Amino acid sequence: MRKLDRPNISPSCLNRFQRTPNAVWNDLRRHDRAEIWLSIIEMQENFCAYCQCKINPHSKNSFIEHFFRRDDFPKKTFDWNNLFGSCNNKETCGNYKDHQAKKFLLTIYANLIFTTPKSIYNS
């Protein structure tokens, strides 16, 4: 992973949707996504934010990644600082992160449920 220099000015459609109560990602239109992709491509120079493979916003090999998942962090859905371009590789990158995050959270919750307070303080 390399450091990305994110432009301070976010795509205008993100500002509009942040001000819209109950807006969800699927409310974005094709031209809104194109505007976001233009800014992402400029920032990432057509490389995946994770593995650095070439990505093309016009193909199915890439998607707009939410580093903090929309389901878990709905207030970050339209946050410019939360958006990246990712390849669609199921074994790495954004898709892999999301899949592993679910497993990781389930493990944490299971450990909390099956750990008694007494065992926490005696360890």
Q: What pLDDT digit, counting tens, does each position of 32-79 carry?
A: 999 999 999 999 999 998 889 899 888 888 899 998 889 888 999 999
Domain that holds residue 62: 12-121
**Total number of domains constituting the chain:** 1
- Does 34 fall in a domain? yes
- Does 5 fall in a domain? no
Asked if residues 64 and 83 have their Cβ atoms less than 8 Å apart, the reply is yes
Q: What is the mean pLDDT of the chain?
A: 82
- Does 4 fall in a domain? no
- Does 29 fall in a domain? yes
Q: Where are the alpha helices (DSSP H) in the chain?
A: 12-18, 30-44, 93-113, 117-121
